[in-house]
Structure 1
Amino acid sequence: MAPEDSFNRDATKAPMNPNSVTMVDGYVPVIDISARRTGSGRAALAQAIGKACRTSGFFVIVGHGIPSELIDRMHTATTAFFELPDAEKDRIAHRPGFSGFRRSGGTTAQSLDRRTPPDLCETFGVHVTGEMGDREREALGDYWATWKLANLWPSDPAEFKDTWQEYLTAIHALAADLLRLCALALGLDEGHFDDKFDRHVSSLVANFYYPQVDEPLPDQLRRGAHTDFGGLTVLYQQDDKGGLQVLQGEDAWRDVRAIPGSFVINIGDLMALWTGGRWVSTMHRVVNPERADTSSRLSIPFFFQPNHDAVIEPLPPLTPAADKQGPQAVIAGEWMAMKTQKLFAPAQ
């Protein structure tokens, strides 16, 4: 698919009203963040973000300022990689966790101890720490962790590595500013979380949902139902292909339709814990296409994760449920490594 067919070319250049908040299916708000450079604009945006994080834990942003041209190149280079023959992709494969290429994206539901067949996708991923030297990476926790691996880059397409690194720089800057807005939304100083993310172990992952020519197994999805288990996720999803759903209540799944030029934002388990349960880390999944639809779909999440040794403690006031559980704190890296190992563990 040519990039000009995939994106609304003006989506990031002609922002909506700075105070505009609309809704996707009445549950996930769409927030124009183009006013985030002004003091009054940041206060209004923080209020909208806080409301979203208390209800669905999800919101969609437009007016973010990341050039559509860069997103187009990212889409094109990444799709070209996944369309290579398996033998070419396998040159950077067979590694644990979100590192390098994997023909199977794991079994996401296993991170919540739910048993389902493997997810129907391929993945490629890198970590911001993956460009460090061996000794620096080995110091990132005295346990197995995917962010301790060196990045592996494909040689084809030729522009792949440069494009991914350029995109990673841009998406990290956006995520860092969103985190500052989250701090404001919680009534904290804007830089409250900065020292917990100044050595972050974040990852950038591409999910390639290949054409489904065979009938899925029972309970097998493109991505099984799960919560993200870190801080903040910034997701690009292909504009013309749906599939992402968010759980509302006990059993109502809501579509999060792809809006041209947007990113989907959601908080993870660590952030929900951090807020004393006031914000929610919500179950979501990627459903299979209609049986007549044998096209592929691409999504690229950036998982903004704290420093591996950050101590995550609930901020008061706690919700009644969090208060009943008593004081709890986790080491960010240990928590994320445990969840990642579950996700990629062999099915029982």
Structure 2
Amino acid sequence: MDQERETAGIVSGFVPVIDLSDRRSAHGRAVLAAAIGEACARSGFFTIVGHGVPRPLVERLYTTTNAFFRLPDAEKAAVASGPDVSGFRRSGGTTAQSLDQKTPPDLCEAFGVHVTGELSARERTGLGDYRAPWKLANAWPSAPTDFTTTWHEYMSVMTELSADLMRLFALALELGEDFFDDRFDRHLSSLTANYYFPQIESPLPGQLRRGPHTDFGALTVLYQEDDLTGLQVRTDTGEWRDVPAVPGSFVVNIGDLMARWSGGRWVSTLHRVVNPEGGDTSSRLSVPFFYQPNHDAPAGPVRSLTSPDDAQNPSETAGQWIATKMQKLFAPAP
């Protein structure tokens, strides 16, 4: 089996590197599903190569997004968001607050949109009877001129890739490959850019570029610069490990909801983005695509993956779960 994995381009480790090139054949998908299942049970993180996302598209995304964050403050403020998450935010939030930990605001700016932000106002009002960012219209900047079209194209490609990863997840959990399809046919996915601006002043005690947190939904596909990292994942012994920046790759991790669906077989792991070492005043850009299910998808474990005695709230929805976490994330910092 080890030889088979090496042939398939799978490099083991706490955050393994998995080559998706052979995901078109039944045998290849079985090997990949097994490796993904092992990674999700151990760390909840893995790095993918051979994913098929066109390199020119990724380069356009990086160039146009980086150019947006370097615009004058007044131009970025024209698409600034309010108390919910849509458009530009001077502060990317305080991620540790989602776990009820009190820290200073994260040292980053952010811009985000949802796939549902392109729906009509009437359609958006039907996405849950509670406050949620996916019920807002997207606020697009007028510059750079190719920003909106590039982001739309990138979201479409990420949706296709994420849907296939969910099918591999289903195989890894010994479910039908299309098991999760109808939980994402009206998905709430979002694309967010985190701009970690140069740190000219010393951070406050406990202040990081991104504080420790878990993601909330099903899965995240993260673009990070090829030569810059800072992303760390915590092991079950409490040790923080760097996630290397592998050229041409994406980092994939599962969120709380996927861990719940798995009946606890898989883990949604704490991660953070640390500050650069002293004297490093470079900026860094990362762009996570959060693949979020339908607002009314169930939030509890898949019944076949848990025992009948496990406590669960059958009426809680994925939308309610994610919205509660998001409200904590963007609550005013202490």
Q: Shorter-chain-normalised TM-score: which range? A: over 0.9
Counterpart in the other structure of 2:133:
146
Residues 299, 321 of structure 2: 8 Å contact kept:
no
1:342 to 318, 328, 333: 328
Counterpart in the other structure of 2:276:
289
Residues 122, 209 of structure 1: 8 Å contact kept:
yes
1:104 to 91, 95, 114: 91
Question: Once the 2 structures are TM-superposed, how far is the Cα of residue 239 of structure 1 from its aligned partner?
Answer: 1.1
SS at match of 1:234: strand
Counterpart in the other structure of 2:68:
81
Counterpart in the other structure of 1:117:
104
What residue identity is the alignment partner of 1:315? V
Counterpart in the other structure of 1:252:
239
Counterpart in the other structure of 2:170:
183
Worse overlay, 241-250 or 84-93: 241-250
Question: Once the 2 structures are TM-superposed, how far is the Cα of residue 318 of structure 1 from its aligned partner?
Answer: 5.6
CA–CA distance in 2 between the matches of 1:94 and 1:185? 39
CA–CA distance in 2 between the matches of 1:96 and 1:18? 49
What residue identity is the alignment partner of 1:35? D
When normalised by structure 2's length, the TM-score is 0.95
Q: Does structure 1 residue 39 correspond to structure 2 residue 15?
A: no
Q: What 5-or-longer segments of structure 2 have no aligned partner?
A: none
Question: Once the 2 structures are TM-superposed, how far is the Cα of residue 249 of structure 1 from its aligned partner?
Answer: 1.6
Q: Does structure 1 residue 158 correspond to structure 2 residue 145?
A: yes
Q: Does structure 1 residue 327 correspond to structure 2 residue 316?
A: no
CA–CA distance in 2 between the matches of 1:347 and 1:33? 41
Counterpart in the other structure of 1:169:
156
Question: Once the 2 structures are TM-superposed, how far is the Cα of residue 250 of structure 1 from its aligned partner?
Answer: 3.7
Question: Once the 2 structures are TM-superposed, how far is the Cα of residue 292 of structure 1 from its aligned partner?
Answer: 1.1
CA–CA distance in 2 between the matches of 1:220 and 1:333? 29
When normalised by structure 1's length, the TM-score is 0.92
Residues 98, 203 of structure 1: 8 Å contact kept:
no
Residues 210, 295 of structure 1: 8 Å contact kept:
yes
CA–CA distance in 2 between the matches of 1:323 and 1:237? 41
> How large is the RMSD of aligned CA atoms in angstroms?
1.5
What residue identity is the alignment partner of 1:21? I
Q: How does 1:288-327 map to 2 (within 5 A)?
A: 288-316=275-303, 326-327=311-312
Question: Once the 2 structures are TM-superposed, how far is the Cα of residue 316 of structure 1 from its aligned partner?
Answer: 4.9
Aligned residues: 329
What residue identity is the alignment partner of 2:83? P
SS at match of 2:16: strand
